Amino acid sequence: MKKRVIRSSSNLEKAVEDKVVPYWYTALVYENQACEFSENNPWNQDAAEFKKTVYLSDDCVITIRPARYALTDGGNGDYEKDRYFLEISNQNSSFVYTSARVYEWKAVNKVALFFKGLSFYAAARVWKAKKL
């Protein structure tokens, strides 16, 4: 499924008066998802005057996933606390790469910058070249 988003907008003059943004986005996760979040401006609750479904390009999705774990299922885990995996995926998550190592917060954000603004195809090439 192509990743869809609803771009909604409310009354521009009222938004400026209220010092809020007049447009907002609602990401749709499921195929036939109804979404009440697209109905009202989240900052001033004005009704949406315009709603348009748009389709996201297949750019790289960057996920920073906590690496903390326990040795038993359901156990308390403090191993690798404050460490993170880096993951990249395409928009529909049909292809996911997860780092083979874990990083501290500053380091994982630095590595994530390698993928900023890349298509998933280009990001996959960078991932393989950097041997993450």
Clarify whether residues 65 and 126 are in a common domain.
Answer: yes
Task: Provide the domain limits for residue 31.
Answer: 4-55
Cβ–Cβ < 8 Å for 132, 97 = yes
Q: pTM of the predicted model, to two decimals?
A: 0.80
Clarify whether residues 29 and 84 are in a common domain.
Answer: no
Over residues 56-112, the pLDDT tens digits come to 998 999 999 999 998 888 778 789 999 999 999 999 889 999 999 999 999 999 999
Q: Considering its fold, how many domains does the chain have in total?
A: 2
Clarify whether residues 46 and 72 are in a common domain.
Answer: no
The helix (H) or strand (E) run that includes residue 8 is strand 4-9
